[in-house]
Amino acid sequence: MAIRERLSGNEAVAYAIKQINPDVMPAFPITPSTEIPQYVANYIANGEIDTEFIHVESEHSAMSAAIGACAAGARTVTATSSCGMALMWEELYVAASDRLPVVLALVNRALTGPININADHSDSMGARDAGWIQIYAESNQEVYDNFLQAYPIAEHKDVHLPVMICQDGFITSHGVENIMLVEDDKAKAFVGEYCPEHYLLNAKEPMAVGPYAVSNYYMETKRAQRQAMLNAKRVILDVAKKYEEMTGRKYGFFEEYRMEDAEYAVVIIGSAAGTCKAAVDHIRETTGKKVGLVKIRVFRPFPEEELAKVLKNLKAAAVLDRSEMFSATSGPLGAEVRAALYSAKAEIELVNYFYGLGGRDITVGDFEKIFDNLEEIAQTHEIRDMYAYIGLREGDCHGNSL
């Protein structure tokens, strides 16, 4: 029987780490992810797990140590947020290109400046091109479930890529909610033992990791890295299927919420999807309008074709980004979704709104306004604000807020 519990998102991740008992955890504290290494250090001090905790002097060192440990053949985990991830930047690329299955528990927090400790996705979205698999969660349950699936994906022989398991800072990381935990023995059996084919500490096979590659090799190496990302799509679904067999909880690249007959949809990542679900239910119950939600779980690799298939026959959709990328056009998710729809030759009305930057709250009422707006756009075929900000204070001049 699964274990009924109530945990914060950080507790849930730490609990998953305890169940997995990885070999090495180098970590440096930063709000709001600090509790994860704290809890793990407690487990170690209490003798519940025998993970080697490395106290490093910075996140740059944390990721460097993670790379070293993983290359040596150890199952490795670390955790960070925001500026901590920014300091890991260089090493994120090294872990991915060296094809090391490190798992990073990322608690999403806005990047400075202005300095801010609350949730948005600017940290992980900035790292979206680093070559890491990125999996996002709506709730504590999802971040726990995603974490248990991380190593089987990362360590699969057709993948060998690092995985970032993301959750929204404070909103899920520090909020206590109900959760169903997998029993220890089942969790351990699901994740399995890490038995790398090649590793630095294998005295029988001296090897080199991360050699210099001149132009004659670099591009071929990158193409092979792309293949790993492509392969990851199949592996992510296979692992999700096995997880569903064990827990009954179904996961894919994204969740379709009341999309069967939907005419209008919001596309979103993370904890606000739950708030949007309440809006979808309320609108359907009170007005009968056909609204739905697509919640992106896997952002890297990006499920381009699969997503376009779900969206292309809608009347209108709003893609919501929880980070700016200052292209002076769309946000990161907006750009991906638009590209996907273009490839599918879809002609739906599409807007891209920004919300929740630096922890700005988004409510059920905000989502109801967004759906109203989509309906108006579908009727008039006029888009007034392609890139509006949700909940922004606006002066008298014409601007982009809803």
Partner 1 sequence: MKDTVEIRWHGRGGQGAKTAALLLADVAFKTGKYVQGFPEYGPERMGAPITAYNRISKNPITVHSNIYEPDYVVVVDDGLLDCTDVTAGLKKGGAVIVNTQRSKSEIEAKLPNWNGKVITVNAREISEDALGKYFPNSPMLAAAVAISGVMAPEVFLKEMQASFEHKFAKKPEVVAGNMKALKMTLKAIA
Partner 2 sequence: MKSTDINERSPWQDITEGNQIYEPATSRNFCTGEWRTSTPVFIEEKCKQCLLCAPVCPDSSIPVCEGKRGEFDYDHCKGCGICAKVCPFGAIEMKEGK
Please choose which of partner 2, partner 1, none residue 216 contacts, taking the beta carbon within 5 to 8 angstroms, the exact cut-off set by kind. partner 2
- Closest separation between CB of residue 93 and partner 2, Å? 11
Please choose which of partner 1, partner 2, none residue 207 contacts, taking the beta carbon within 5 to 8 angstroms, the exact cut-off set by kind. partner 2
Residues 138-157 as x/- pattern, contact with partner 1 by CB under 8 A: xx------------------
Query: What is the C-alpha to C-alpha distance for residues 169 and 178, in angstroms, rounded to an integer?
Result: 18
Residue bearing tokens 């891209």: 352
Query: What is the C-alpha to C-alpha distance for residues 9 and 173, in angstroms, rounded to an integer?
Result: 4
Among 46, 114, 185, 223, binds partner 2 (CB under 8 A): 223
SS3 129: coil
Structure tokens at 118: 């609350």
Residue bearing tokens 């409510």: 363
Quickly list H helices, 98-139: 122-126
Interface region with partner 2, contact rule CB under 8 A, candidates 122-130, 139-147, 223-231, 239-247: 223-231
Among 1, 195, 208, 328, binds partner 2 (CB under 8 A): 208
Instruction: Judge whether 238 and 228 are in contact, CB under 8 Å.
Output: no
Query: What is the C-alpha to C-alpha distance for residues 223 and 229, in angstroms, rounded to an integer?
Result: 10
Binding residues for partner 1, rule CB under 8 A, total 26
Please choose which of partner 2, partner 1, none residue 352 contacts, taking the beta carbon within 5 to 8 angstroms, the exact cut-off set by kind. none
- Closest separation between CB of residue 184 and partner 1, Å? 20
Q: Does position 172 bind partner 1 by CB under 8 A?
A: yes
Among 275, 330, 352, 373, binds partner 1 (CB under 8 A): 275
Return the residues of window 361-380 that contact partner 1 according to CB under 8 A: 361-364
Return the residues of window 89-108 that contact partner 2 according to CB under 8 A: 97-100
Return the residues of window 82-121 that contact partner 1 according to CB under 8 A: 117-118
- Our CB check for partner 2 shows the closer of 12 and 94 to be 94
SS3 273: helix
Q: Please state, in angstroms and as integers, the Cα–Cα distance from residue 321 to each residue in 183, 253, 282, following that order.
A: 36, 17, 23
Residue bearing tokens 């998710």: 333
- Closest separation between CB of residue 205 and partner 2, Å? 6
Q: Who's near 71: CB < 8 A, 6+ residues apart?
A: 98, 100, 199, 200, 209, 210
- Our CB check for partner 2 shows the closer of 148 and 228 to be 228
Asked whether the bond before 332 is cis by omega within 30 degrees of 0, the reply is no
Q: Tell which phi-psi region holds residue 30, choosing left (phi > 0), alpha (psi between -120 and 50) or beta.
A: beta
Residues that bind partner 1 (CB under 8 A): 6, 32, 117-118, 138-139, 168, 170-172, 174-178, 271-272, 274-275, 277-278, 359, 361-364
Residues that bind partner 2 (CB under 8 A): 97-100, 160, 198, 205-211, 213, 216-217, 219-221, 223-225, 227-228
